[in-house]
Chain A
Amino acid sequence: MMRIPPRTALLGCLAPPGARRTLAAVAVALLAGLALIACVSDEPLRAWLILITGPLPELRQGADGAWHWHRLVRFGTVLQDTVNLTLLALALLIPFRARQFSLGADGQLFLGALAGMVVGLSLPGPAWIVLPLAAAAAMLAGALWGGATGVLKARYGANEMVVSLMLNLVAIEIYRLAIMAWLRDPDAGFPATPFLPPTAMFDPLIAYTGVTLMLAAAPLAVLAVTVLLGRTTLGYEIRVAGAAPAFAAQAGVPVARAIVLSMALGGALAGLAGFHIGHAVLGRLPVDLAAGLGFEGLLVALLARHEPRAILGAAFFYAWLRAGGQAMERSTDVAREIALVLQALVIVLVMAERWPWQARTGRKATP
């Protein structure tokens, strides 16, 4: 029996049944979060409210009578995380559409950040030359690493989920080795690369945050992936290879090529996320850069139900919860990992296609 891909439900109002269910799942998960917090906290309601409203910037009247924005740094964190999560979610979404469960975004991000940093540190010149070249290097590194998973799957039949997770471990070790052995700044108090020269970095749009021109990369990437999947031959091949591989092969679609390219393109976007972290957010790469962001991107892709147009909203929501969790941890007795729990809980609720007591619909039989 052929598997039909999940129907293109969408967060907005374009597909009301799916959207309504997603919003209901979000509401249920947030309430479950309140219950969970109540089990462990002395002041559950306050903690929960900080989780929900923490990242909201405040408009307050100063002593001089003028109105000022407050807490913009926290909101800036939300925006910069939105960029990361959008790029990572798109990186996972493209192979998902080919029904390839490649989870290698983390490793591709590390190698992309490394490649971008090498270019940024070694290449003198004006920003309009260095930055595009560094971005290209980061995307190339991510694409090669993602394509490696694709080749191992398409040529050798190696399960892409396990291979991509193993390649993550290898990539992170390559990253650490490169920084410890070759790129380490001897003057830094901890193992990290030197700071990028100002010409190789983006200027912040909000002071003291990593919000830069790269903010535009998120909607642009969404647009690019939407066009790729919906309007190009390669996108069609990727979708057919995922929906009905046997049919695709019969009809002459180059399935192996579609699989490899879907993973390479995804890798390029994850590499771009690495470039964003290096050149816009941090300015230098510490050796213990936290792994695991790729898995948050995975949650975003699942929440958006593999629909590129819904990624931006889903990424913003998860970045919001992330920042809210950090604010909650700072001011209450609840750990910020509650955000991860809620994010995963939303996914588990969204995944149910029907309730157990409902009759099985004939959805799988009709395309």
Chain B
Amino acid sequence: MNFDITSPMVALVLALLALLRAATPILYAALGGLLSELGGKINVALEGLMLVAAFTAVIATIFPPPGLPPALLPWWGCAAGLLAALLLAAVLAVLHLECDADLIVAGIALNLLAAGLTVFLLAELAGDKGSTARFATPALPSLRIADLSAWPLLDLLLNGEAGRGHHVLLLGAPVLALCGWLFLGHTRPGAWLRAVGENPEAARAAGIPLRRMHYLALLGSGLLAGLGGVYLSMGYLTLFQADMTAGRGFLALAAVFVGRRSLAGVCAAAVLFGAAGVFATRLGCLDLPPQVLAMLPPVITITALALSGWRRRCRRRSTDDS
């Protein structure tokens, strides 16, 4: 590297990169949560969906179909992970929409099913209850944006450490957020989805296909949470660990509530929660008990939830008075 690692600007950019890496999985899942919440069918199984996607992606690369070119191996894993998440989301959708199961209870149950199933299959297929560290599994490729070596700081920001480029799913997250904005605000299905979430009866009366929109909300959230899970096991790390999502699916749910159902707010909240995790890790150099540091991210999440609820309540009170 041709720049000074001790300079504050470089340290800032490096911290920013760590933040982006930590926020990406939460952001994907939070976009999924937002999609389901806007459709009026909040998906609380995000955690389980991420876990299943992360697990299936890695296991699929350990057992690839014969004759698969090595270059396609990561993409095969990615596709398998997304398919698994989609399947689990379909189970949730069918249970709720066709079998009248309570959506939240069903979501909680699927989280538990995913936790048990991944550990059980991990033990049986990989022969280890902890992780797939015994196997070398690939990551999805990284993309270099352009040759920016003339501006070292910009190069570091856009192409990552040592110019290796950024993980394709890390770059995909902001692109997807933009697509989400276009979809929700500027397409007919997006408007339909929001209408269904606002008032299903009115939407039905207006001729909007209610059931199709509900399926779209739940399956779409499954796909997005699946992307977050695949990033965890094929980018953030290149292995699967038992319970590797570590509550990120619930952080994403928190981001949906803190962001008050607006796309920008949800993205900001997801980045905030990513930052909280990075911040706690960085404080490790201080002489504090590790347990106190581990308390920080959940406390920050609770504070954000309480503050956002409190502000909403104040605003409602002031509109009631007027």
Contact = CB atoms under 8 A, between A and B. Distances in A.
Interface of A: 6, 40, 101, 103, 152, 156-159, 161-163, 165-167, 169-170, 173-174, 176-177, 180-181, 295, 298-299, 302, 334-335, 337-338, 340-341, 343-345, 347-348, 351-356, 360, 363
Contacts of A302: 105, 108-109
Given A181-B289, A335-B129, A340-B112, A356 B98 contact: yes
Given A156-B313, A158-B309, A337-B116, A173 B257 contact: no
Contacts of A345: 113
B120 A337 contact: yes
Nearest to A337: B120
Interface of A is mostly: helix
B100 interface: yes
Contacts of A340: 112, 115-116, 119-120
B110 interface: yes
Given A152-B305, A344-B109, A352-B100, A165 B250 contact: yes
7 contacts: A152-B302, A161-B250, A166-B254, A298-B108, A337-B120, A352-B95, A354-B99
B104 interface: yes
The 9 residue pairs across chains A and B that have the minimum distance between CB atoms: A157-B309, A340-B116, A352-B99, A344-B113, A335-B123, A353-B100, A166-B298, A356-B98, A337-B120
A165 B108 CA distance: 12
Interface centre among B106, B112, B297 (most CB of A within 10 A): B112
Contacts of A299: 109, 112
Given A40-B124, A302-B105, A348-B91, A170 B298 contact: yes
B294 interface: yes
A158 B302 contact: yes
Contact of B305 (A6, A162, A181): A162
Given A298-B112, A335-B120, A352-B95, A173 B129 contact: no
A139 B255 CA distance: 32
Given A101-B108, A156-B306, A340-B112, A170 B101 contact: no
B150 interface: no
Contacts of B183: none
B254 A169 contact: no
Interface residues of B, number: 50
Contacts of A159: 253-254, 257, 305
A180 B305 CA distance: 30
A136 B116 CA distance: 34
B56 to A, nearest CB: 15
Contacts of A334: 124
B186 interface: no
B164 interface: no
B291 interface: yes
Contacts of A162: 250-251, 253-254, 257, 301, 305
B309 A161 contact: no
A295 B112 CA distance: 8
Given A157-B310, A162-B254, A173 B109 contact: no
Interface string B116-147: 11011001110001000000000000000000
A334 B294 CA distance: 34
B142 to A, nearest CB: 32
Interface string B290-304: 011011011101100
B102 A166 contact: no
Contacts of A298: 108, 112
A152 B254 CA distance: 14
A298 B254 CA distance: 21
Interface in B27-47: 44
B99 A158 contact: no
A355 B95 CA distance: 9
Given A158-B302, A161-B253, A163-B305, A351 B106 contact: yes
Contacts of B247: 165-166, 169
A173 B305 contact: no
B274 to A, nearest CB: 15
Contacts of B102: 6, 351
Nearest to B242: A337
B99 A337 contact: no
B94 interface: yes
B204 interface: no
B109 A347 contact: yes
A356 B109 contact: no
Given A40-B124, A351-B102, A351-B106, A166 B301 contact: yes
Given A40-B125, A173-B294, A351-B106, 17 more contacts: A101-B108, A152-B305, A156-B306, A157-B309, A162-B254, A162-B301, A163-B305, A167-B298, A169-B247, A174-B291, A180-B289, A298-B112, A299-B112, A340-B119, A344-B109, A344-B113, A347-B109
Interface centre among B106, B113, B119, B302 (most CB of A within 10 A): B302
A326 to B, nearest CB: 14
B319 to A, nearest CB: 15
A146 B225 CA distance: 29
B312 interface: yes
A181 B247 CA distance: 26
Interface centre among B91, B94, B120 (most CB of A within 10 A): B120
Nearest to B292: A177
Given A166-B298, A335-B129, A341-B113, A356 B292 contact: no
A165 B248 CA distance: 11
Interface in B47-94: 91, 94
A190 B100 CA distance: 50
Contacts of A356: 94, 98-99
Nearest to B125: A40
Contacts of A170: 295, 298-299, 302
Interface in B203-257: 247, 250-251, 253-254, 257
B40 to A, nearest CB: 12
A331 to B, nearest CB: 16
